[in-house]
Amino acid sequence: MRDSFGREIDYLRVSVTDRCNLRCIYCMPPDGVEWKPHAGILSFEELTALCAVFAELGIRKVKVTGGEPLVRRGLPSFIAALKRTAGIEQVTLTTNGLLLGEHLPALLDAGLDAVNISLDTLDPVTFGRITRYPYHTENGAPANKALEQILSALRSASSAGLRVKVNCVPIAGVNEEDILPLAALARELPIAVRFIELMPLGRAASFEGLNALEILSRISEGGVFAPINNGDSSGVENRVLGNGPAVYYAAHGWQGQIGIIAAISRGFCERCNRLRLSADGYLSPCLSSASKTPLRALVRGGDERGLPVSRIPAARKDAILETIRAVIFAKPQSHSFSGIYNIKTEHSDKTMWNIGG
Ligand code: SAM
Ligand code: SF4
């Protein structure tokens, strides 16, 4: 379905949990957050049934996110169910990678199409500082082990034939020195390493993100890179790129690519194709928008106990279709992260662990 600005909306990001096994400094408070009550979280049956309704309106790609999606039990079966849903062509996952190795065989069996692994550093001390893993690091050892786990899962996923992207959010004074070593992962592996401008949401507003030009100048110390798309990878013949908003670069002799997502300095709202669904069933048309439309009561037909729903009855489905259409129609023309960086308060009620990035 097209929105009122003519954009085709075919991509849904589904957060399956607000829980996480990390506490990234730009995302979560040190002591975590008060988790949403279990009964308020949509069951996998409800989410699958809801995604089938989205598919009727033209959603073709679903990204499963969180919190940390792999902390929710039964995730591979949910992915398999999405893959069986008529109209849904692609199911991908965004994870911090800690539990990826453990679940990789089941995810491959489920038919997962691609995985994004969030990794902001290859240095154990910086990893501990950013993720607070294991929340009170006394020495480098535990973070070291966690990093090894993530990198090993990354290599296994790539060699198993899964499309792999690494996502890093560069932050001034925190992981600037990690940009080049992370980028170099794409020299040896056929993966895309992407750098995302920090969005001033919630806790992130108190950090200063690097902008695309600053990131590029760091990367260019590692080789001569040429752009291979312009933030629209649809025409580019490469199985790694997908259809996201990144501008990709390649260098001679590198197996993979480097991507830059200039969400703030350049923006890509004119091509935005996505909606976001939170774990408790709120639908949001834009990361920066205050609007969130509750779908849970519609899915449950007013029964808030959260009974399993494998198919939504026709009358309820019509109401859901109408509600989703209205959200798509009201999708704003662009995000409102106005002052580039250092917006301390404007979006402080919005959090990435809740919306799923
Ligand atoms: N836990 C999973 C993970 O880390 O991949 C999925 C959820 S996490 C919120 C999704 C992505 O959002 C991560 O890559 C994270 O780095 C990114 N993220 C979180 N806060 C951000 C911010 N303020 N600006 C840009 N990206 C952010
Ligand atoms: Fe957890 Fe992902 Fe947020 Fe880090 S960015 S705290 S891994 S949800």
Q: Which is nearest to 6 in space by CA: 289, 328, 337, 244? A: 328
pLDDT score recorded for residue 270: 86
Weakly modelled stretches of the chain, pLDDT under 70:
135-141, 230-244, 303-309, 336-357
CB 150 within 8 A of CB 200: no
The CB of 283 under 6 Å from ligand 1? The reply is no
DSSP, collapsed to helix, strand or coil, labels residue 279 as coil
Is 350 buried (19+), middle (13-18) or exposed (0-12) by CB count in 10 A?
Answer: buried
pLDDT score recorded for residue 33: 81
CB 125 within 8 A of CB 143: yes
Using CA atoms, how far apart are residues 204 and 208, in angstroms rounded to an integer? 8
For a substitution probing ligand 2, which of 13, 15, 19, 68 has the most ligand atoms within 8 Å of its CB?
A: 68
Express each pLDDT in 303-318 by its tens digit: 666 556 677 888 889 9
Domain spans, the chain: 11-355
Fold of the domain built from segment(s) 11-355: TIM Barrel (3.20.20)
Ligand 1 nearest-atom number relative to CA 22? 1
- Amino acid at position 245, single letter: P
The CB of 66 under 6 Å from ligand 1? The reply is yes
DSSP, collapsed to helix, strand or coil, labels residue 354 as helix
Around ligand 2, the residues with Cβ closer than 6 Å are 20, 22-24, 27-28, 66-68, 96, 118, 352-353
pLDDT score recorded for residue 134: 81
Task: Quote the Cα angle for 154-157-159, to 5°.
Answer: 105
Which ligand ends up closest to the CA of 16?
Answer: 1
Terminus-to-terminus CA distance in the chain, angstroms? 23
CA-nearest residue for atom 2, ligand 1, is 95
Using CA atoms, how far apart are residues 13 and 238, in angstroms rounded to an integer? 23
CA-nearest residue for atom 5, ligand 1, is 95
pLDDT score recorded for residue 239: 41
